Structure 1
Amino acid sequence: MSTEVEPTSVQTGAEVAASGAPDLPAPGEGLDAPDSGGDLPVLHGGRIVDVIADALTFTLVIARLALAATAMRLLSQAVKGAYAYVEDCAQTVDGLADVAAALAVDDSVTSAHHDAAAVMRESLELADALSAEAAEMSTEFDNAARDHESDYGDVNEAMQTGPYDVAEREYYSNR
């Protein structure tokens, strides 16, 4: 049985030392605030690529949400256009069935046309629900983009314009 301690994400200082992993810096070492008070030192450790990548990711998320909202709005409008077309077709088929009935066409033919118009109208209920759902989704995508901007816009701005380096992602991965 081995007594070696494996490094994990939650360990005491003694466990970290026993595992042979590098020890964490003591308070006051590294980038903690200076003993004399004041601001942290300005560092330029080459993480500019990460900051730019994060800014691009932030911008892409906002843009993709806006595109999704636009696509859903267009879908809603397209469904409404199809809705109007199908409603017009149903009215035309009913009108043709009425003309056929006035011309003494067989009842089975005229009733089949009326049945077809009824099926068209039933599909309109589904199309109307789809159109409403697409419009609602469009609003939700707009809200998500707005909320994302509101939640992370200041953070993104601070990362872009702040004088300090942002910690590497790996720094936070085991916290």
Structure 2
Amino acid sequence: MKGTAHVKGGNTIELDVRVDNQGNCTGTISGDGAKAQLLRSEGGDVLIKGDRTFWTNSARASGGDGKQGEQLAEKLAGKWVTAPADSQDAAFCDKKQFLAAMDQDKTERQGMKRGETAKVGDEEALILKKEHKGERISMHVATNGEPYILKTVTEGSESSSMTFDNYGEKVKVQQPPQDEIVDPADTQA
């Protein structure tokens, strides 16, 4: 998955994440001046390695103030941290959860009209589109082989675009040494 997406609070993030059916995940998320790496091996814990801004923003998003954000950033910046499975960032490494979140409003894809064909990368795709709640939504679906979604685009107040490729490929994860992983419980004051 690669592109832009909107998260709670109205922020736009950029994603470049690889996920497979065996529970492996690698990639980066960035936005609002912050950047973080993600990884998960065989469905285990999701590990996040964020910069100072990422951890400062995370503290603020959880209701903390600037001082708490700075303290968190001081302890965690540049270190691998185990993320709770229900955290917003961990969701990017859960393919089923991520796709389900993209499809929360089932009415978005109901009544889509067949459009023209276009290329997404090297693949031919049929464009399905519709207007929904003041936004233009389109899905590019592969015309050869399995009808995989190759691209989704939303144009309007919350514009976003996401491409999907390399279906069926295994993701290779280089797990960091255990002594480079921080337990979030150790950061409590």
Report if TM-score (shorter chain) is over 0.5: no
User: TM-score, normalization: structure 1?
Assistant: 0.23
Higher strand share: 2
Kindly indicate whether structure 1 or structure 2 has the higher relative contact order, using CA contacts under 8 Å at least 6 residues apart: 1
Higher helix share: 1
